[in-house]
Structure 1
Amino acid sequence: MEVHVVSKSKNQVNAVATLDRLEYEQHGLAASSVRVQPLLITLCSNNLSYARGGDLLHGWDTYPVPAGLPKPYNDRKSWGIVPAWGYGVVTESMTQISPGTLLWGAEISESRQRLMTIITATPKKAKIEYPDFMSGIKTWTSLSSLVDAKELKRMSWVSLFRPTWQTGYLLSHHTFTSDTTSRSPIHPLGIDLPWTPADADISAAVVISLSAAGKTARAFAYHMFWRNAAKEGPIWFLQISQTPELLESVPRILGTDIPTKAVRYDLVGGSAELIEGLDPKRIVLVDFGGRAGTLAQLIESIKSHSALGEVQTTIIHVGSEQNVYSADEIKGNCQTMQTVGEVQFNTCGVRDAVIE
């Protein structure tokens, strides 16, 4: 059985180590435990984020490195397993969940108690069960054959988008919301910090999305497009991406009444001229991981423009450019965030606040 491990100090260093499966599985399961074999997992740029935040957000606790791995990969101080979202099939069980049950996502092992609640949510058993499953499972192919192609495709999309789709929904509906009569707007961190109805109001704002072609940004755009331009705003939605052509048809397909435009990174410097005639009362920049220097260039373009320099600007930081960063670079990025006044968004914190 092969295990992919990543260096905790240098995330670009990784290896595949072999674990003796027979030796590993001969150990009996503890009470209230199941053994699960992956059926489908999603690997994307988010997994790099999980590695980068492995220590700060305790992501390395999700799947502790097995002690049975060969040296040096069994050293949990130096090596970790990057978590991934997906589905698995129960092969053994010490619970009421029967072997052959398909499971999604998270669970609440003792090692995961410091993880965010979005990961440690109590698992929900899927309705799909395979009572003849125990006839033998040895390969990915035989696992996949348990699910028809249409269902497997649906599961693939769920695995890819379900975790990040929440970010766009929560940001659009609970942090930037015009419905303040039935619920209070929630601070981007989801904690008890001031976030007034005025902070949440983007009805007269221009909203700018950086790294707009990424899936988290696309989820946010989808929810933006379903707003009522006349009542909820924004008055204009600008998406900045290296591939704006991928975004241009979406508003038309959805039939939104939100005015929108998609532009390339090399046109960021002219954004102020695009915004000038709209007379916005506010500019909201949502950074989903824009290219290095883009945010600073955009801010400079706005602040130096005679008609926009005094317009209130709010900057929400959702993610960083997908690179491997050193500890010093991460520290520098945090200092830059403070300098420009970025407010960090925390999907888990906002989600917890909404539930509460």
Structure 2
Amino acid sequence: MATTDLLIAHGELTQTRLRTRDDTPLAPGQVRVRVDRLALTSNNVTYAGFGQAMHYWDFYPSGEDGWGIVPVWGFGDVVQSLHPGVAVGERLYGFWPSSTHAVLTPDRLSPQRFADAAPHRSGLAGVYNQYFRTALDPLYRADDEDVQALMRPLFITSWLIADHLADNDFFGARDANGRATVLLSSASSKTAYGTAWALSRHPGVEVVGLTSPANEAFCRELGCYQRMLSYDSVEQLAADTPCVFVDFAGNGQLRRTVHTHFAGLAHSLAIGSTHLSEVALPGSGKQLPGPRMVFFFAPDQIRKRTQEWGAQAFGERMADAWRAFSERVTDAGSPWLRVEHTRGMASMPQVWTSLAAGRLDPRVGHVIEL
């Protein structure tokens, strides 16, 4: 048996190559999974952009200096098992390599999930080490695997961002009428409009979407932004507007404009980057006026809410929000997402390169079937 990987150059994320290697035999306690459905989104570009700083390259080490295997979300089936608690044929949802196969070391098994206990992943964020057994996964539906692969991890981040802001009362960014204003850059991205939707469930919040002129029409059609502005018209908003800035774009010039223009800026939160040449690492932006930019790390909010609410209550709240959001995204009358399928590893370099270069239609979600 052999595995094919998509390798991405650390220093130039649009440079890729495919590599095929012979599989090594399983050790006792391990399973081999055939990955057959995965999503490629701007979220994966963020993983690559922060690959070294945030250790995303470490989940599935490539073994080659200067090249990484970017993690992706999707589904796979167990095709070999040397673990007594995991059967061949089980279908799993989780965080995979951009590869045809993955080897896991299941631990802390429950009927719904298990964790990968591979030694090299022991120091990495635990939320990414969880694999859900679809037979009893409360969020799973066999007829919408595409939407789950594309939107489930993004929406969880979106929901957590909205919860984080509400949990901190929007950092005091409220006007005389008690209304909070939240600015979201890269408003056409799936994580941004998921955040806008989640914020709409909190009363007294105005969400302002910031985007390129080419994506303004799409963002207006979504209906989840109370106001849309192109990047070059941000200064149309009054400078004294109390606001929070959530930056999905990583555009240094935009961030400087926001920090310089808004005297009422109460908080600046960096999520990812859709501008590869300007990837903003934690601690950057120190010279900007106003509040210091803070990097949002979703697992921190998961840990906080799990401790406060309990694991079961946290899971139930998240599941309720996910079901409502997925219904909106796939609404037959006005869907927010159109899924496009490509088949085989040979298709991945082209899709990845277009995504990393920002050339793909925001209406489209790309699912690779292997």
* Cα distance, 1:105 vs structure 2: 0.3
Distance 1:80 1:335, change over 3 A: closer
One-letter amino acid matched to 1:239: G
Structure 2 counterparts to residues 86-165 of structure 1, below 5 A: 86-95=74-83, 96-106=85-95, 107-108=115-116, 109-121=118-130, 123-127=131-135, 151=142, 154-165=144-155
Hey, what does 2:192 align to over in structure 1? Answer: 217
Q: Aligned with 1:124: secondary structure?
A: strand
> Does structure 1 retain, via aligned residues, the 8 Å contact 2:270–2:296?
yes
> Does structure 2 retain, via aligned residues, the 8 Å contact 1:176–1:200?
no
Structure 2 counterparts to residues 1-356 of structure 1, below 5 A: 1-20=3-22, 24=23, 27=25, 29-65=26-62, 74-75=63-64, 77-95=65-83, 96-106=85-95, 107-108=115-116, 109-121=118-130, 123-127=131-135, 151=142, 154-173=144-163, 175-177=164-166, 185=167, 199=171, 202=174, 203-228=178-203, 233-234=204-205, 236-242=206-212, 243-251=215-223, 260-272=226-238, 280=241, 282-289=242-249, 291-303=251-263, 311=264, 313-324=266-277, 334-337=283-286, 339-340=288-289, 341-356=292-307
Please report the TM-score for the alignment, with normalisation by the length of structure 2.
0.66
* Cα distance, 1:347 vs structure 2: 0.8
Unaligned runs of 5+ in 1: 66-73, 129-149, 178-184, 187-196, 304-310
The percent identity for this pair of structures is 23
Deviations 1:98-130 (A, max 9, x none): 211111104412221122122012x231118xx
Q: Aligned with 1:98: secondary structure?
A: coil
Which has more strand, going by share of residues?
2
> Does structure 2 retain, via aligned residues, the 8 Å contact 1:285–1:314?
yes
Unaligned runs of 5+ in 2: 96-114, 308-370
* Cα distance, 1:198 vs structure 2: 7.3
Distance 1:200 1:166, change over 3 A: farther
Q: Aligned with 1:339: secondary structure?
A: coil
One-letter amino acid matched to 1:160: L
Q: Aligned with 2:181: secondary structure?
A: strand
Please report the TM-score for the alignment, with normalisation by the length of structure 1.
0.68
Over alpha carbons, which structure has the higher Rg?
Answer: 1
> Does structure 2 retain, via aligned residues, the 8 Å contact 1:90–1:102?
yes
* Cα distance, 1:201 vs structure 2: 6.7
Q: How many residues align?
A: 274
CA distance in 2, matches of 1:158, 1:198: 29
* Cα distance, 1:211 vs structure 2: 1.1
Hey, what does 2:366 align to over in structure 1? Answer: none
Distance 1:336 1:314, change over 3 A: same
CA distance in 2, matches of 1:49, 1:247: 21
